[in-house]
Amino acid sequence: GYGNFQRDRSQLQLAIIFLSLAGFAVFSSTSLRFDFALPLPDSVRSITAWIHVSFLAALLCVGVILLQEGMTVDSKLRRELRSAIPRQQFELFFQPQVNRDGRLVGAEALIRWKHPKRGYIQPGHFIPTAERAGLMADLGNWVIENAVKTLADWTTHENTRDLVIAVNISADHFLKQDFVSRLIDTLNAHQVSPSRLKLELTESVFVTEVDELIGKMKVLQHHGISIALDDFGTGYSSLSYLRRLPLQQLKIDRSFVRAIAEGSRGASLVTRISQMGQDLGLEMLAEGIENDEQFQFMLSCGCQSFQGYYFGRPVALETFEERIRGLIKPSYQ
Ligand code: C2E
Ligand code: MG
Ligand code: MG
């Protein structure tokens, strides 16, 4: 139960643990007897008692070893993560986002941890630990600061002046009281137009009071910052939520784009999802485009923007800029 709770910190998992404990307390203190039950002969009873005790002892040992291992790995990672910001071990990678003509319109900033021993670590391997350690706001502020600095730098070049950078914002960070004021201060400090920054939120922000969430999003929108809903279709967002939230863009999750090749059911699902977004008046971005067939299909669904390995993988800032300046041939125009 504890192991499951570590993986999925839900009320259901907590309830399972408490029910098991309560069940144990109730059954061990009640003397239930059934008339049809016959006592085991002593010769069998002595063997099963040994098996029972040995099994419990083994189970206890395995449990303790697993817990200890989990704790040491996690706490080591936490300690390293805490010092990674001051040690400047994080880096932003950029992945191109293109329009229907295949022209570059912006980039998504994706964080990488440049670990001194393990090399580049993908976000999937450290963000869950950072979330548990309550580090996402610090990490998010670092991401915003660096993305805005890059935007300021891009203002001075003709090819990059109009590009928009999308940053991923975790729920923890977005729900902080001073999130909006800090963001605006950062944009002002670097004299960057808010219209060049896009925030990508996932449905995890819906945990909060929806009116409060809408209020915050409206303030951001009022400042000219656009908001995209990331990984759309993988969560539980109801249509009534979607209608009420001041969003500009839906990012169709790559699992749907992959489903196109799986036959007519996958393809019709993607068509309907795109149609629904358009009916709601939202811009649609298709994520995870890996080949021309997927690009053509999502074009035919009416999507306005595209992102995926077909147009370019996430790369370090320097490489991204070299591609824009035409030093390396990119797959977008
Ligand atoms: P995401 O925001 O949905 O980002 C897209 C992920 O899909 C990226 O993985 C990207 O490398 C990958 N991807 C893009 N195109 C393709 C494709 O054509 N095929 C396939 N198979 N994959 C593709 P990455 O960089 O490992 O990031 C994973 C997730 O980590 C992101 O998903 C995002 O939720 C989170 N993340 C990344 N950077 C940040 C950050 O700075 N802050 C926060 N809060 N989360 C971040
Ligand atoms: Mg994203
Ligand atoms: Mg996504």
- Residue 253's nearest CA partner among 231, 270, 275 is 231
CB of residue 168 inside a 6 A radius of ligand 1: yes
- pTM for the predicted model, two decimal places: 0.82
Percent of the chain with pLDDT over 90: 69
Q: Which atom of ligand 1 is nearest to the CA of 200?
A: 2
The residues placing their C-beta within 5 Å of ligand 3, an ion, are 230-231, 287
Distance 253 CA to ligand 2 centre (A): 10
Distance 286 CA to ligand 3 centre (A): 9
Give 333's pLDDT tier (boundaries 50, 70, 90). Answer: low
CB of residue 235 inside a 6 A radius of ligand 1: no
Rounded to 5°, the CA angle 109-113-116 comes to 150
According to the model, what pLDDT value does residue 80 have? 92
According to the model, what pLDDT value does residue 225 have? 97
Strands (E), the chain: 90-98, 104-115, 119-121, 164-168, 197-201, 226-232, 249-252, 283-286, 305-307, 315-316
Rounded Cα–Cα distance for residues 43 and 203 (Å): 60
Closest protein CA for atom 12 of ligand 1: 288
CB of residue 253 inside a 6 A radius of ligand 1: no
Mean pLDDT of the chain: 91
The ligand with the least distance to the CA atom of 127 is: 1
Q: Which atom of ligand 1 is nearest to the CA of 173?
A: 44
Residue corresponding to tokens 């069940």: 23
pLDDT over 80 at 238, yes or no: no
Give 322's pLDDT tier (boundaries 50, 70, 90). Answer: very high
The ligand with the least distance to the CA atom of 95 is: 1
Distance 171 CA to ligand 2 centre (A): 13
The DSSP output letter for 169 is: -
Percent of the chain with pLDDT over 70: 97
According to the model, what pLDDT value does residue 218 have? 96
CB of residue 96 inside a 6 A radius of ligand 1: no
According to the model, what pLDDT value does residue 329 have? 61
Residue 286 CB-density burial (10 A; 0-12 exposed, 13-18 middle, 19+ buried): buried
- Residue 222's nearest CA partner among 189, 251, 195 is 195
Closest protein CA for atom 35 of ligand 1: 123
Distance 110 CA to ligand 1 centre (A): 6
Are 120 and 112 a contacting pair, CB within 8 Å?
yes
According to the model, what pLDDT value does residue 121 have? 94
CB atoms closer than 10 angstroms to residue 34: 6
Long-range contacts of 271-277 (CB under 8 A, 24+ apart): 271/301, 273/232, 273/233, 274/298, 274/301, 274/302, 274/303, 275/301, 275/302, 276/239, 277/232, 277/250, 277/252
The pair of structure tokens assigned to 42 is: 């002593």
Rounded Cα–Cα distance for residues 332 and 64 (Å): 53
CB of residue 123 inside a 6 A radius of ligand 1: yes
pLDDT in tens, 141-181: 999 999 999 999 999 999 999 999 999 999 999 999 999 99
What's the whole-number mean pLDDT along residues 20-47?
87
In whole angstroms, how far apart are CA 261 and each of 38, 128, 297, 333?
Answer: 61, 31, 10, 26
Are 226 and 196 a contacting pair, CB within 8 Å?
no
CB of residue 147 inside a 6 A radius of ligand 1: no
pLDDT over 70 at 321, yes or no: yes
According to the model, what pLDDT value does residue 185 have? 97
CB of residue 241 inside a 6 A radius of ligand 1: no
The set of residues, in sequence order, having a beta carbon less than 8 Å from that of 332 and lying 6+ positions away, is 96, 98, 102, 103, 104, 311, 312
CB of residue 188 inside a 6 A radius of ligand 1: no
For 333, what's the count of Cα atoms within 13 Å in the CB-facing half-sphere? 5
The pair of structure tokens assigned to 60 is: 């206890």
Rounded Cα–Cα distance for residues 39 and 149 (Å): 78
Per-range mean pLDDT, top range of 135-144, 228-237, 259-268: 135-144
Least confident of 175-189, 225-239, 249-263: 225-239
pLDDT in tens, 59-90: 999 988 887 877 777 788 889 999 999 999 99
CB of residue 122 inside a 6 A radius of ligand 1: yes
What's the whole-number mean pLDDT along residues 276-301?
95
pLDDT over 60 at 138, yes or no: yes
CB of residue 290 inside a 6 A radius of ligand 1: yes
- The C-alpha R_g of the chain, in whole angstroms, comes to 26
The set of residues, in sequence order, having a beta carbon less than 8 Å from that of 130 and lying 6+ positions away, is 81, 136, 139
